[in-house]
Chains A and B, each alone.
Chain A
Amino acid sequence: MTDLRPEEAAPADLQGGRAHEEGATPLPAGGGSRLSRRDLFRLGLAAGPVSLAAACGWNGGPHLEPRLRAFSRVNDWVGEKLFLSTSRLAPTYPASKRTPERDFPAYSLTHPMPVPPDPPGWALAVGGLVAKPQRLTLAMIQALPRLTYTVKHHCVEGWTAIGTWTGAPLSSVIALAQPTEAAQYIRFDTFDKGYANGWDLKSAMHPQTILAYAWNDRLLTPAHGAPLRVYSPVKLGYKLTKYLSAMTFTAERPGGYWEDQGYPWLGGV
C-alpha cells in the first residue's frame, strides 16, 4: 500500500508515442479522395473508440505532461498563498484514536533500513543562506522547546493514519540559524539513498511543523525515520522527510525525490 513508485507505469515518452500513433486515423487507400457520407460516418464511428483507446492509461504524452506539471505549479501557489494559514491549526485527536502501530505504514528507499554513516556521531547540519550555521546533535534538538500532538497523517495515495509525534518546532531551529533575507526555501537531505524534499518557508514556520524524534511516546523507530524526521499535519506524507541529515536554506526552489518525478511540489493539506 505504501508503494507509490513509478516503475509500474510505462515511461512517459513511450506512452505518448503510442497514443499519437493510435490517434492517427488511416484514410482509405486508392486514388479517389472523395469520401461518401457513409465513409465519413464510418470514419467518425471508428475515430471515437480509437481516440478513446489512445487516451486510456495515458499521462498526457511528451507535449501535455510538462504542461500539467506547469499547472501543478499554479496549484502550489494557490495552496501556499491562498489555502495555507500559519495561524490555523490542523485538528488534533485524543491518543485513544491512534492507529494501531502495525497498521501505520512506513517506507524507505534503502532496504532493509537506512542507517546513518556514523550513528553515534549523527548530527543535523543546518546551513545555506543563514547567519549562524548549526550542527545540532539529537540531545541539542531534544533540549529545544518540545511539542507533542496527535494528528492525522495524510498520504498522497489516499490513506490516513493517526499518530502522536513529539519534536522541536522547526521555527525554533530556524530562529537559531537566522536565515538571511535571500532565503526562501529549505532543502531537507537524508541518509536514505539521496531522498530529499524542498519546503516553502511558510509551511516550515507553521506552528505544528516539527523536527520529530518521538512517535507514540517512544523514540522514533528506524521504520519511521530515526533518529530525526520532519513532521507536520499540513503536508502530505511524502513531504515529511525521514532520516534527516541536513537542512539547507536556499533562494531557489529545491526539488525532491517524488516531486522531481511529477508529484505536486507543495503537497499541502
Chain B
Amino acid sequence: MSTSAADPPPAADRPESAGAGAETRQPAPGPGAEEAAAEQAAAPGLAPAASPTVAADRRPFRPLVYRHHWLVRLTHWANAVLLAGLIGSGLQIYRAFAHFGPRGRPFYPNPWDGRPFPQWASLGGWLAGGLNWHFALAWPFVATGAGYLLFLAFSGEWRSLLFRPRDVPRAIAMQLYYLRLRKDHPPQGKHNALQKAAYTSIVALGAISVASGFAIYKPAQLSWLTTLFGGYELARYWHFWAVFLFLAFTLVHVALVLLVDPASLRAIVTGWYRGRFPSHD
C-alpha cells in the first residue's frame, strides 16, 4: 500500500489515487501546515504551504483520506451485529447448564457458576431458540471473518494491522505516552503499535472463538480439535471466556474512538477520514 499523506501533497484540487485504498483529497494547505507538520508527527512529510493566504487559521492541517475499503466497513458492521446476536444466544444456551467441567467433580472457577445471565441479555427465548439463533449466526460470522482476512491478505492491508516483533518497542512508547510518561505522540502509520496489538489479538480471539465453537459443536467428529482445546469441557470454557474478552475489547474500542479519535467513526461508516492520524502506511 503506497502512502499518500506521508508523500509531498499533490497539487491542490487534484485528488490523488494511490491503489486500493489510499486516495487523498487535499485542499490547498493553509499557513497552519508548518505547525501541523511540526506538531503532528503522524504526518511527517507534509511540505510547507506555497503561499500563505489567511493568517488566522491555526488549526493543524488535516487532509481528507480514504481510509477503509467498503469490504472492511461491511465486515466491521456485520461483525458488530453478528457478535451481539452470537453472544446473546450464547448466554441463552449457558442458562441450560451454568457450569463448566465434567459432572461429579468440582466445576471450573467461574464467577457466574450456577448463575444464569438475565433473560434480557439472552436471545432465543429458550434453549432450542438460543441454539437455532447461534447456529444460524455462526456461519455468517465465519464467512465475515474469512472475507475480512482474505481482503487483508490480498490488498496488503495486513501490513498496517499485523502486530510484529518490531512493534514491541513502539507499543511500549505508545503506552508511555498514554501513561503521560512521554510528552509527544510517537510517530505512527495508519494505526499505532498498540492498535496493531489490539486488532491482531481480536482477530486471533475471533479465530479461537470459531475453533472452540466447532470443537464443542462436533466433539466426536472433530475430536482432534476438541483435544487441542483440552477436551470438550475446556473448549466450552474457552468459548465462554472469549465472550468477555470480546465485550472488554468492544468497550475499550468504542471508548477510544469517542475519546481519542472521533473522526474514525466517520471513516468506518463512509470510508473517508479527516482527523489526527491521516498517515496511511
Which single residue of chain A is at the shortest CB-CB distance from B100?
A158
Which stretch of A112-120, A135-143, A256-264 is in the interface? Answer: A256-264
Query: Does A156 lie within 8 Å of B220, measured CB to CB?
Result: no
Query: Does B218 lie within 8 Å of A269, measured CB to CB?
Result: yes
Which stretch of B22-30, B132-140, B196-204 is in the interface? Answer: B132-140
Q: Does more than half of chain B's interface fall in helix, strand or loop, or is it mixed?
A: helix
In the bound complex, what is the Cα–Cα distance between A90 and B232 (angstroms)? Answer: 13
Out of B97, B126, B223, which one reaches A155, CB within 8 Å?
B97
**Is residue A107 contacting chain B, with contact meaning CB distance below 8 A?**
no
**Is residue A68 contacting chain B, with contact meaning CB distance below 8 A?**
yes
Query: Does A85 lie within 8 Å of B122, measured CB to CB?
Result: no
**Is residue A157 contacting chain B, with contact meaning CB distance below 8 A?**
yes
Out of A60, A156, A162, which one reaches B127, CB within 8 Å?
A156
**Distance of B227 from chain A, by nearest CB (Å):** 8
In the bound complex, what is the Cα–Cα distance between A53 and B121 (angstroms)? Answer: 9
**Is residue A9 contacting chain B, with contact meaning CB distance below 8 A?**
yes
Determine the chain B residues whose CB is within 8 A of the CB of A1 once the complex forms: 97
**Distance of A28 from chain B, by nearest CB (Å):** 27
**Which range contains the number of A residues in contact with the other chain?**
35 or more
**Is residue A55 contacting chain B, with contact meaning CB distance below 8 A?**
yes
Which stretch of B44-52, B88-96, B173-181 is in the interface? Answer: B88-96
**Is residue A59 contacting chain B, with contact meaning CB distance below 8 A?**
yes
**Distance of A106 from chain B, by nearest CB (Å):** 12
In the bound complex, what is the Cα–Cα distance between A105 and B103 (angstroms)? Answer: 9
Determine the chain A residues whose CB is within 8 A of the CB of B94 once the complex forms: 158
**Distance of A159 from chain B, by nearest CB (Å):** 5
Supposing A69-B132, A72-B132 touch, asked if A268 and B218 sit within 8 A by C-beta, the answer is yes
User: With contacts A56-B121, A59-B129 known, what are 20 further pairs, Cβ within 8 A?
Assistant: A9-B125, A9-B129, A12-B125, A56-B123, A58-B124, A59-B124, A68-B132, A72-B132, A83-B218, A83-B221, A84-B221, A90-B220, A91-B223, A99-B103, A156-B131, A158-B94, A234-B220, A262-B132, A264-B132, A264-B135
